[in-house]
Amino acid sequence: MNNTIRMPTRRLVTRRQALAMTGAAAAAAPFILRAGRASAATELVLVNWGGDAIPNFDHAFAQPFEKETGIKVTIDGTGPTDGKIKAMVESKNVTWNVCDADGFTSENLGSRGLLEEIDYSIVDRNKVRPGHAFQYGCCSYIYSYVITYNSSKLKEAPTSLADFWDLEKFPGKRTFWKYMSGALEAALIADGVPVDKLYPLDVDRALKKLEQIKDHIILWESGADSQRFLREGEVSMGLIWHTRSTLLERDTKGEVKWTFNQGLACPSSWVVPKGAKNVKETMQLIAFMQKPELQVDLLKSMSNGPANPAGSAMAPADLAKIDPGNEANWKIQIPMDVQWYGKNYNDVLNDYLDFFAS
Amino acid sequence: MATEVAVGTSRRKLLAIGNRQDQVYWLFVLPVLLCLLVFFLLPLFQVFWISLSDPAVGPDNYIKLFDNRAIKRVVLTTLRICTITTVFSVVIGYMIAFTVVIAPPRTRSMLMFAILVPFWMSVLVRAFAWVTLLRSEGIINSFLMSFGIISTPLSMTNNEFGVLIGMVHYMVPYAVLPLLASMDGINPSLIAASRGLGAGPVQSFIKIFMPLTKPGIFAALILVFIMTLGFFVTPIILGGGKTVMIAEYITVQMQQTLRWGLASALATALLAVVLLLIGGLSRSMDMRKMLGGG
């Protein structure tokens, strides 16, 4: 009974959603088989983290793709953790085509032979930012770990990562992600490391800096946790996904505020599990999802920043404000070094968790 | 003498019938056994195999269990939390069970209802209910602060204290049920006899009643301890990420850091401990009776 929930890295997926998706796929199967078009027997499965992302990804990507190519795309909200992708590849029965994963997952899993290489003769490397076309993954959208605070708890607005360490001026608890991204960067920047010398991260130095405020830190596990902590005043400030900050600001009518300043801008990536069926069609889907107008649709519904700079450029002003990929916002953030995470994440995450458990 | 012989004969008869129909009964059980083999024992063996073969064949993962600092910490945290939870659950459970046993029938069924309703409730719901009560702007803190009893909110959640409260609350019914079964089996005339021979109520309780419930106490201790070893949801929700128990550590190694060998070794070790405890338990008492089924 203690396994009733899984806590994936991104979003809490309920069993019901997973069942609903399976049910939908099963119900749709006969129609696909009966459809008359040549490619109609092909069906692709896009796996993301569930919740609102299921209808929103469907609207932004799956429906337009089916309209253009006749290939049906099913959105599955299971939550493709690294562990689940590995399990599926090793079972040699790969039913997923493309997964919504962290940028560094492409490095981490790709180097272990668990992912297909991205075919850049189909996918366009010029439709993502420089450095975001990875060997085993291609940037899908941009998200950011941003300074977010409950203004009813603080007299002044925190504007920099160093403010997390100023307990007098900014009283109350702080929250960082349990799975590390952002926390070590925050500590090093607060300790005076310049942004261009940030990577490779000096983990020991970062943990030493975190030690100073360790008793005032709690860790958020799912995005919903981060919202709960800030809304309920359990913490006064935190470093959380900008997608959640956007929701918090709206839900609390501006009591919770946030800024892109010194946020950690991260690419998510589309990855294809090794041994997936219909790899060519999957690559076509990834290429199709590079269209700027589709990415703006996702920016509107989910606050996910377009991976394609052309998408950011065409976003209207009210959306540009919440887009981490927007040039004005991009300039004041810190870009995550995906290569460093890909190589070091597994080891350093264990040190990080042990640090907080001790 | 005569009755003993009679019982002996009828049991022999029953056994004889049983022998003839054994094959039929086995047919009924066979599908379940097959399911158990294919969907439970084989995967379990696979877990064991992973622990010995990932990343390389050998006992390395088991050696790591003993010399890895982080794992040592996780194991110690788990043992500490489980021990405290077990002691509190059984003490509270004992008081509740005793109250139920001495209560008149109507009150008794009401009390049983109050014990069983939380027992059936989802672990998730119960953890979040505690968050509502314990958080810094939660019901308890706002109440205490509005009466000026405290000036700064007490830290009751997102730490080990919160985890303990949530776990004790979850485990109390599991302690009550075996205790209740053993208390129900005590012949009330023994207490009456003790009182009749001049012992006071306290003395009767300590000298007569309590020793008779020893098997129940033992069963409750082991049952609660075994169940707490695998706790996952409650520490995650009430621990604020800083109270990491074995089950969560295994999940992180499976899902995030891909150390399947280490995770499997830890899971196997946990299973071995649980099996040993169950073995000790079943030797010293009738398992069916303990769980209230007999």
The region of weakest confidence among A248-257, A259-268, B132-141 is B132-141
Please report the pLDDT score of residue A38 as a whole number: 43
Alpha-carbon A323 to chain mean position: 14
Distance of alpha carbon A161 from alpha carbon A174, whole angstroms: 11
Mean pLDDT for chain A overall: 90
Q: Does the structure show a pLDDT above 90 at A33?
A: no
- Label residue A17 by pLDDT band (50, 70, 90): very low
Please report the pLDDT score of residue A194 as a whole number: 96
Please report the pLDDT score of residue A42 as a whole number: 87
Give strand pairing partners of A143: A266
Q: Does the structure show a pLDDT above 90 at A108?
A: yes
Overall average pLDDT of the A114-139 stretch? 97
Between strands A256-271 and A334-335, the pairing is: parallel
* B151 interface with A at CB cutoff 8 Å: no
Overall average pLDDT of the A21-31 stretch? 45
Please report the pLDDT score of residue A306 as a whole number: 98
Please report the pLDDT score of residue B27 as a whole number: 85
Residue B242 has its nearest CB partner, among A2, A8, A357, at: A357
Residue B241 has its nearest CB partner, among A218, A234, A347, at: A218
If you measure CA to CA, which chain B residue comes closest to A221? B241
> Contact A211/A123 with Cβ under 8 angstroms?
no
Position of tokens 């264990």?
A: A350
Distance of alpha carbon A54 from alpha carbon A35, whole angstroms: 24
Position of tokens 């079972």?
A: A91
Overall average pLDDT of the A24-29 stretch? 46
ipTM: 0.83
* A174 interface with B at CB cutoff 8 Å: no
Q: Does the structure show a pLDDT above 90 at B282?
A: no
Model confidence pLDDT, tens digit, residues B214-235: 989 999 999 999 999 999 999 9
The nearest CA of chain B is from the CA of A128 a distance in Å of 26
Model confidence pLDDT, tens digit, residues A52-62: 999 999 999 99
Please report the pLDDT score of residue B15 as a whole number: 55
Q: Please provide residue A264's backbone torsions phi and psi, each rounded to the nearest 5 degrees.
A: -100, 105
> Contact A114/A274 with Cβ under 8 angstroms?
yes
* B217 interface with A at CB cutoff 8 Å: no
Overall average pLDDT of the A179-185 stretch? 97
* B123 interface with A at CB cutoff 8 Å: yes
Position of tokens 């194991």?
A: B75
Please report the pLDDT score of residue B188 as a whole number: 87
Distance of alpha carbon A187 from alpha carbon A169, whole angstroms: 18
Model confidence pLDDT, tens digit, residues A272-327: 999 999 999 999 999 999 999 999 999 999 999 999 999 999 999 999 999 999 99
Q: Does the structure show a pLDDT above 80 at B2?
A: no
Overall average pLDDT of the B101-120 stretch? 92
Residue A4 has its nearest CB partner, among B73, B123, B240, at: B123
> Contact A210/A188 with Cβ under 8 angstroms?
no
Distance of alpha carbon A356 from alpha carbon A178, whole angstroms: 9
Please report the pLDDT score of residue A23 as a whole number: 47
* B49 interface with A at CB cutoff 8 Å: no
Q: Please provide residue A184's backbone torsions phi and psi, each rounded to the nearest 5 degrees.
A: -70, -40
Peptide bond into A316 cis (omega under 30): no
> Contact A276/A94 with Cβ under 8 angstroms?
yes
Q: Does the structure show a pLDDT above 50 at B96?
A: yes
Distance of alpha carbon B131 from alpha carbon A217, whole angstroms: 17
If you measure CA to CA, which chain B residue comes closest to A351? B70
Which is the CATH superfamily of the domain at B61-290? MetI-like (1.10.3720.10)
Q: Where exactly are the structural domains of chain B?
A: 1-53, 61-290
> Contact B268/B51 with Cβ under 8 angstroms?
yes
Does the pTM surpass 0.80? The reply is yes
Please report the pLDDT score of residue B119 as a whole number: 87
Overall average pLDDT of the A177-187 stretch? 97
Q: Does the structure show a pLDDT above 50 at B210?
A: yes
- Label residue B11 by pLDDT band (50, 70, 90): low
Distance of alpha carbon A343 from alpha carbon A109, whole angstroms: 10
- Label residue B23 by pLDDT band (50, 70, 90): confident
* A344 interface with B at CB cutoff 8 Å: no
> Contact A241/A182 with Cβ under 8 angstroms?
no
* B247 interface with A at CB cutoff 8 Å: yes
- Label residue A138 by pLDDT band (50, 70, 90): very high
SS (H, E, C) chain B: CHHHHHHHHHHHHHHHHHHHHHHHHHHHHHHHHHHHHHHHHHHHHHHHHHHHHCCCCCCHHHHHHHHCHHHHHHHHHHHHHHHHHHHHHHHHHHHHHHHHHHCCHHHHHHHHHHHHHHHHCCHHHHHHHHHHHHCCCCHHHHHHHHCCCCCCCCCCCCCHHHHHHHHHHHHHHHHHHHHHHHHHCCCHHHHHHHHHCCCCHHHHHHHHHHHHCHHHHHHHHHHHHHHHHCCCHHHHHHCCCCCCCHHHHHHHHHHCCCCHHHHHHHHHHHHHHHHHHHHHHHHHCCHHHHCCCC
Overall average pLDDT of the B153-171 stretch? 93
Task: Tell which residue, B158, B163, B168, B181, has the closest CA to residue B225.
Answer: B168
Please report the pLDDT score of residue A12 as a whole number: 42
Q: Does the structure show a pLDDT above 90 at B10?
A: no
Distance of alpha carbon B121 from alpha carbon B114, whole angstroms: 12
If you measure CA to CA, which chain A residue comes closest to B241? A219
Q: What are the structure tokens assigned to A18, written together?
A: 């997973």
Percent of chain A with pLDDT over 70: 89
Q: Does the structure show a pLDDT above 90 at B6?
A: no
Q: Which are the contacts of B160, defined by CB distance < 8 A and separation ≥ 6? A: B77, B81, B239, B242, B243
Please report the pLDDT score of residue A19 as a whole number: 45
Neighbours of B120 (CB within 10 A): 7
Percent of chain A with pLDDT over 90: 88
Model confidence pLDDT, tens digit, residues A331-342: 999 999 999 999
Neighbours of B2 (CB within 10 A): 6
Q: Does the structure show a pLDDT above 90 at A270?
A: yes
Please report the pLDDT score of residue A54 as a whole number: 96
Alpha-carbon torsion angle A187, A188, A192, A195, nearest 10: -130
- Label residue A231 by pLDDT band (50, 70, 90): very high
> Contact A139/A268 with Cβ under 8 angstroms?
yes
If you measure CA to CA, which chain B residue comes closest to A356? B242
